[in-house]
Structure 1
Amino acid sequence: MTWSGEEVDVDAYVARTGVKGDLKPDAETLHALHRAHVAAIPFENLEMMLGRPVPLELSAVQDKLVRRRRGGYCYEHNLLFAALLERIGFSVRGLGARVRLGSSSLRPVTHMLTRVSTGEGEEWLCDVGFGAAGLREPIPLQDGAQVRQGVWEFGLAREGDDLWVLRNLRPDGWRDLYAFTLEERHPVDYVVLNHYTSTHTRSTFIRRPVVQYAAKEARRMLTGRDLVIESADGERSERAVQAGELKAVLDREFGIELSDDELGELERVHYAGE
Structure 2
Amino acid sequence: MLDLESYLRRIEWVGPLAPDLATLTGLIQAHLCAIPFENLDVLLGRRISLDLGDIQRKLIGGRRGGYCFEQATLFDAVLQAIGFRTSCHLARVVLAAPRHLSSRTHLFVLVDLPEGRFVADPGFGGPAARGPVLLADIGASPATGTNHWFSFADGAWVLHGRDGATETELWVTELATDYPIDADVSNHFVSTHPASIFTTAIMMNRFTPDGRVSVMNRNVTLWRAGESQTWELADRRALRHLLAERFGIDLPEVESLTASGIPDWS
Per the TM superposition, whether the score is higher than 0.5 is yes
- Match status 1:28 vs 2:19: no
Q: Is residue 9 of structure 1 aligned with residue 3 of structure 2?
A: yes
Q: Residue 53 of structure 1: CA displacement? A: 0.6
What displacement does 1:92 show?
1.1
TM-superposed deviation, 1:230: 4.2
* Residue number in structure 2 paired with 1:154: 148
Give secondary structure in 1 for the equivalent of 2:14: coil
Structure 1 pair 147/38, CA: closer, same or farther in 2 (3 Å)? farther
Question: 1:205 deviation in Å?
Answer: 0.3
What RMSD in Å do the two structures reach over aligned CA positions? 2.6
> Are the counterparts in 2 of residues 133 and 219 from structure 1 also a CA contact under 8 Å?
no
Summarize the Cα distance change of 1:116–1:47 in structure 2 as closer, same or farther, 3 Å threshold: same
Contact 2:200 2:259 in 1 (8 A): no
The SS at the match of 1:132 is coil
Between 1:120-129 and 1:59-68, the stretch displaced more is 120-129
Aligned position for 2:102: 107
Is residue 202–residue 259 contact of structure 2 (8 Å, CA) maintained in 1? no
Query: Among residues 229, 236, 244, which one is paired with 1:237 in the alignment?
Result: 229
| Count of matched residue pairs | 262
Per-residue deviation at 1:121? 6.3
Segments of structure 2 that go 5 or more residues without pairing to the other structure are none
2:68 alignment partner, one of 61, 70, 74: 74
Conserved? CA contact 1:99–1:177, under 8 Å: yes
Contact 1:157–1:165 under 8 Å retained in 2: yes
Could you say what secondary structure the match of 1:125 adopts? strand
Aligned-pair identity in percent equals: 32
Match of 1:197 in 2: 190
The two structures have a TM-score, normalised by structure 1, of 0.87
Q: Give 1:117's match in structure 2, choosing from 108, 112, 121.
A: 112
Do residues 60 (structure 1) and 54 (structure 2) align?
A: yes
Shift, 1:271, TM fit: 9.2
In 1, distance between residues paired with 2:222 and 2:96?
A: 19
Contact 1:152 1:232 in 2 (8 A): no
Is the contact between residue 92 and residue 116 of structure 1 (CA under 8 Å) also seen in structure 2? Answer: yes
Q: In the alignment, residue 55 of structure 2 is paired with which amino acid?
A: V
- 2:165 is matched with 172
Rounded to whole Å, the distance in 2 between the matches of 1:97 and 1:192 is: 13
Q: Which deviates the most, 105-114 or 187-196?
A: 105-114
Please name the residue that 1:209 is paired with.
Answer: 202
State whether residues 147 and 154 of structure 1, in contact with CA within 8 Å, keep that contact through their aligned partners in structure 2: no
- State the SS of the aligned residue for 1:219: strand
Match of 2:43 in 1: 49
**2:256 corresponds to:** 265
Match of 2:91 among 94, 97, 107: 97
The verdict on how the C-alpha distance between 1:248 and 1:180 changes in structure 2, with shifts beyond 3 A counting, is same
- 2:80 maps to 86
Structure 1 residues 53 and 271, CA gap change in structure 2 (3 angstroms): farther
TM-score (norm 2): 0.89
The structural deviation recorded for 1:71 is: 0.1
Shifted more, 170-179 versus 190-199: the winner is 170-179
Shift of 1:134: 0.3
* Deviation (angstroms), 1:173: 2.9
Deviation at 1:19, TM superposition (A): 1.5
Alpha-carbon spacing, 1:128–1:148, altered in 2? closer, same or farther (3 Å): farther
The answer to whether the 8 Å contact 1:164/1:180 transfers is: yes
Distance 1:47 1:184 in 2: 29
1:195 and 1:202, CA in 2 relative to 1: closer, same or farther beyond 3 A? Answer: same
Which runs of no fewer than 5 residues in structure 1 stay unpaired? 1-6
Compute the displacement of 1:178 (Å): 0.8
Render the CA deviation track for 1:167-222: whole Å, top value 9, x for unaligned: 11123331111111111212121111100100001100000211111233333211
Contact 1:96/1:109 (8 A) holds in 2: yes
- For 2:265 and 2:108, the matched residues in 1 are separated by 39
Partner of 1:3: none
Distance 1:16 1:267, change over 3 A: same
| Distance (whole Å) between structure 2 residues aligned to residue 45 and residue 237 of structure 1 | 23
